Structure 1
Amino acid sequence: MEDVGAACERVARQALGLTDLRPGQLGAMSALARGTDVLVVMPTGAGKSAIYQVPALLLPGPTVVVSPLIALQRDQVEALRERDEEAVSLDAGTSAGRRRTAFESLRAGETEFLFCAPEQLAKPDVVRDLAAAKPSLLVVDEAHLISSWGHDFRPDYLRLGQVAEALGRPAIAALTATAAPPVRVEIAERLGLRDPVEIVQGFDRPNISLTVRRMMDDPAADIVSAVAAETGPGIVYTAVRKQTTRLSELLGEAGVRAAAYHAGLRRSERDEVHGRFMSGDVDVVVATSAFGMGIDKPDVRFVVHAEVPGSPDAYYQEIGRAGRDGERASATLFYRPENLGLQRYFTGSVPDAEVLARVARAVAEGGGDRRALRERADVSARRLTTLLDLLERAGAVRVGTRRVEPAPGAPAPEEAAELAVELAERRRDVERTRLEMMRRYAETDDCRRRFLLGYFGEQVADACGNCDTCLAGTADRQVEEESGPFAAHARVEHRTWGPGEVIQRGEDRLTVLFDTAGYRELQLDTVLDQDLLTEPPTS
């Protein structure tokens, strides 16, 4: 009898034409084919789609794929149909007739793949119809969006753990290109993964050169000059919408075919910019972080950041859109310490206690569905999702796929609001430690790639030779593995910040990710002299 691994290799070869699977692919495929949950972190272009497509063809029942972008869903549906695999997508524009036909085809076993955004799974009738089709696999693409530790947090992803239960709890595949350790932990918790197989393939993109240019004044002229000197298509990221227009106009004056892109544009305008960039009619897109997810353009030659991003997570995701063809590419960060204040402002928002108490009272008075709660509490649908998540963590509410109910033994609404605000403040403080790690990246004299990979939990001894600090000769060529206490990945306890894990250990400093206090950099001498950290005894 054919074993699971051999079956996956056979289907990969026959259905997808894959004769050589990449590292990690077969292990993830085999786990899913056995009905085991997986959490997969692989760079874009490393074959994450094949990881779920192969076991989907082995398991009975259809596959539901949650994807955040309609354009990406349609691309995936088209690619599957070209291989004679039946696939459909579902979005707000899908007619009632097409929706009915899609569900009938799923129930009849004629269609294997259904793609949809998480907003569709917030609709009880959609979940009910999908449950009737008895799906065997739930795929959560761009899974970092479920984590408020992750960049580009989307509250609609918070419901997916409950949706999985309502669908009969199929095997879950959580897929993402970039997820630091705390993001991976929260993905598993939020989705309710059961003893998942976690596969984390290398974050390193050695073909991308890394450069930081420290600026004292407005760097617009230098950005325009740097971009104009580049060849091939590229992306310029900026933190605020008005800068996209300003920089794209300046680039146009310099003879660069550039266009602005941000979430405030009409969808038709965004689609036009996207299409022109993909077709080569536009060479440079100047954008906020709204641009890039799902962009499958392999020949992007450079990514420029006009300001420092809010975290290494966001930065690595965005520069990873360059050089997907494996050819040389570059990532340049224009760094001004003053820009850190702008990012601190973005991370400073904490929900109002009065609004939280209003939502808690609306639930305490009898709960109800989300629409009724929105009306009683007078909040938007998106804001309600975030507030309910905080209140659920505070032990005040219990959120289901259809109704929201008071939690057993729930605190009074005002007390629940105070607890929820404390949780939000703690998360804000953690976010600011991630911004501090971004500052450290920008200001380090050591190998920048080694610093980034260490942030994501990969210990690298050798300097990369392909970043500005290496080329300038300031980076240590090799970091010897340090002996003594507090090795990388060791669990530690701080008398104030509690438990954590050593992320990086250098010659004179430690970087520790604390469970509730975020990232902290500690001088090793001070730690030892003042006995600040202890290591739990090994069993």
Structure 2
Amino acid sequence: MTAQPLSKVLAEVFGYAAFRQGQEQVIEAVQQNRDALVLMPTGGGKSLCYQLPAIMGAGVTLVISPLISLMQDQVESLQAMGVAAGALHNGLDQEEQQSLLLRAASGDLRLLYVSPERAMQGYFIRQLQQWQVTLVAIDEAHCISQWGHDFRPEYGQLGQLREALPQLPFMALTATADAATEADIVQRLHLQQPVIYKSSFDRPNIRYIVEDKFKPQKQLRDYIAKQKGASGIVYCGSRKRVDELAERLRQDGIRAAGYHAGMAHDERNYVLRGFVRDDIDVVVATVAFGMGINKPNVRFVVHFDVPRSIEAYYQETGRAGRDGLPAEAVLLYDPGDAGWIRSMINDHPDEQRRQVELHKFTAMQALGEAQTCRRLVLLNYFNEFREKACGNCDICLDPPQQYDGTVDAQKVLSCIYRVGQRFGANHVIDVLRGSQSQRLTALGHEQLSTFGLGADKSQAHWLGVIRQLIHRGLVIQNIQHYGTLQLTAAARPVLRGEIALSLAEPRMNLAVSKPKVTDRGDYDKLLFRRLRALRKRIADAEEKPPFVVFNDSTLVEMAVHYPTDEASMLTISGVGQTKLERYGAVFIDAITAYLDAENEPLLHS
């Protein structure tokens, strides 16, 4: 198949003028009956790599996807573009399931989405062997690997499906895979000399920010208040914390909801659908709120607790800004949290698994504690080496201010020693700042020589100093003994004044954050808001997520170019022939009416 018809289908069905990097290469490999492994970031256009050849082929493409919600969103988007697609799952009644199977058998269906569990059922495999299947696409393929962070047994068995369908090309797709995971996917799926396409892992529209975790609930609530109704996700390490934070945000008047595996299925589904349909602005969640989020206009992702690997962090932050518009990824980082995670990993009985997880978490810690461009650290982990700083992370936008911290370090180290190396950071800070607390007095610590030595500086300042001393290896935080601070041998030369120590001013207030829903200034914001409202009314009437009608980047483009006829509307990215027929007229009318109202004062002047 030549590039011309591929481009024609791309424009007419998907409404795109050009392929993104790598898409055409992968599609042509599939059309040559070759296996493929596709590594593209979230929002990078992975799904098009199997959707477009499916549309052009004669048979059915089987897509293996982990969650019903993800299948449904993709099917709704395809159907809105006039593509014959369906998802086979237990949420359908027997008659609906039978109808889909008959359509797939007759060649009337172009794409059929199923779970890995269904794909591995014997009766289903026997049906596949009788159908005209042209391709098997496996989404979220990192789940196949034993090193993938969302390992699921049925994914690991998909190699057996390959044995049952040896003549078919298989395509594995994922947003995150290090070298070990990549090799594992190829081996477990029995991919034969696959075309391996690795796109850049860089998501330049995402601003990466790390803030010292000081008063985390206040920090989070202040940050979300600045977002003015933008869509966002807050990830937490425990179900209890999810429930607490979601309730706090609701009390603040935020349209927020919690999501975790301890909730009933119907309740989780209600939250997911409400979020996707823009009825809920902020979801506070555990990692259970994961791969099923097909929502392009998430403007921010906050990690309230540090993730266990860079893969998890990348996958979760990648849910922001899938429409290509500016977004933020904020991590609240506390070395104490890191210590707890290390202790949990060390409790794992499997030695090999423990070593891999410790390696992955060490890399995540390095990202949180970096004093150089965050994006370079992130890309380096995925073996994408660059020298030029990104200019769009907290380190680049607001470089750490260094100062001679020798005296501050000596005060902290001396205080840790004076309290017997038996207390945590908060108690050490209380002594330094001269607290009159009852506990401190009962211990007689107001008599120590370090009492009140740091009264001229804030608690946040001293916490920042302590954390840097931990990072530098001068102090350890003993997690097995309630987080008590203890000196290492490296503290001695600093205490004796033999070496000077340069420290960074602590970061506590997200000063670099510019929380705008869209950061570009070249579009008509009033028109954009009106088009969003129109889109929401249409989506609600059709019981669809708003992005199925048009995503935010398409509306932004309309608010730049003001299309007022069918020809100009077709030049807007994301407007194909079917969507033009379904929605074009009403959006053209809205834009025309807006322009007429804008020009009316001129006619009367």
Contact 2:37 2:173 in 1 (8 A): yes
Aligned to 2:218: 221
Between the aligned partners of 1:263 and 1:169, the Cα distance in structure 2 is 39
Between the aligned partners of 2:345 and 2:89, the Cα distance in structure 1 is 31
Aligned to 2:369: 443
Between the aligned partners of 1:86 and 1:346, the Cα distance in structure 2 is 47
**Per-residue CA distance 1:249-271 (angstroms, 9 max, x = gap):** 22223332221111111111111
Between the aligned partners of 2:65 and 2:343, the Cα distance in structure 1 is 29
**Per-residue CA distance 1:218-264 (angstroms, 9 max, x = gap):** 63332223333333221110011111001112222333222111111
What letter is aligned with 2:189?
L
| CA pair 106-253 structure 1, distance change in 2 beyond 3 A | closer
Contact 2:59 2:110 in 1 (8 A): yes
Aligned to 2:192: 194
Contact 1:139 1:175 in 2 (8 A): yes
Mapping for residues 302-341 of structure 1, pairs under 5 Å? 302-341=300-339
Structure 2 residue 251 is the aligned partner of structure 1 residue 256: no
By how many angstroms is 1:182 displaced? 2.2
1:282 counterpart (275, 280, 283): 280
What letter is aligned with 2:372?
D
2:109 counterpart (108, 111, 125): 111
| CA pair 93-278 structure 1, distance change in 2 beyond 3 A | closer
Q: Which has the larger radius of gyration?
A: 2
Secondary structure of residue in 1 paired with 2:116: coil
What letter is aligned with 1:248?
A
Structure 2 residue 388 is the aligned partner of structure 1 residue 462: yes
Mapping for residues 112-191 of structure 1, pairs under 5 Å? 112-191=110-189
Which structure carries more relative contact order (alpha carbon 8 Å, separation 6+)?
Answer: 2
What letter is aligned with 1:272?
Y
Between the aligned partners of 1:114 and 1:471, the Cα distance in structure 2 is 46
Between the aligned partners of 2:81 and 2:180, the Cα distance in structure 1 is 37
Contact 1:303 1:319 in 2 (8 A): yes
| CA pair 87-72 structure 1, distance change in 2 beyond 3 A | same
Between the aligned partners of 2:97 and 2:253, the Cα distance in structure 1 is 47
Between the aligned partners of 2:94 and 2:167, the Cα distance in structure 1 is 27
Structure 2 residue 428 is the aligned partner of structure 1 residue 431: no
What letter is aligned with 1:182?
A
Secondary structure of residue in 1 paired with 2:200: coil
Aligned to 1:499: none
Aligned to 2:61: 63
| CA pair 138-241 structure 1, distance change in 2 beyond 3 A | same
> Which piece of structure 1 moves more, 446-455 or 205-214?
205-214
| CA pair 349-101 structure 1, distance change in 2 beyond 3 A | farther
Q: Select the structure that is richer in helix.
A: 2
What letter is aligned with 1:270?
R
Between the aligned partners of 1:118 and 1:155, the Cα distance in structure 2 is 9
Aligned to 1:76: 74
**Per-residue CA distance 1:170-211 (angstroms, 9 max, x = gap):** 111111222222222222112111111111111112222212
What letter is aligned with 2:396?
C
What letter is aligned with 2:219?
D
By how many angstroms is 1:18 displaced? 3.4
| CA pair 341-10 structure 1, distance change in 2 beyond 3 A | same
2:35 counterpart (9, 34, 37): 37
> Which piece of structure 1 moves more, 337-346 or 288-297?
337-346
Secondary structure of residue in 1 paired with 2:170: strand
By how many angstroms is 1:319 displaced? 0.9
Aligned to 1:268: 266
By how many angstroms is 1:4 displaced? 4.3
When the two chains are superposed, the root-mean-square deviation of aligned CA atoms in Å is: 2.2
Give unmatched runs, 5+ long, in structure 1: 352-423, 476-539
Between the aligned partners of 1:96 and 1:25, the Cα distance in structure 2 is 37
2:294 counterpart (284, 293, 296): 296
By how many angstroms is 1:92 displaced? 2.3
Contact 2:42 2:315 in 1 (8 A): no
Q: Select the structure that is richer in strand.
A: 1
By how many angstroms is 1:138 displaced? 0.2
Percent identical across equivalent pairs? 43
| CA pair 99-279 structure 1, distance change in 2 beyond 3 A | closer
What letter is aligned with 1:466?
N
Contact 2:13 2:82 in 1 (8 A): no
What letter is aligned with 1:46?
G
| CA pair 89-298 structure 1, distance change in 2 beyond 3 A | closer
TM-score, scaled to structure 2: 0.63
Secondary structure of residue in 2 paired with 1:286: strand
| CA pair 328-86 structure 1, distance change in 2 beyond 3 A | closer
Contact 1:347 1:428 in 2 (8 A): yes
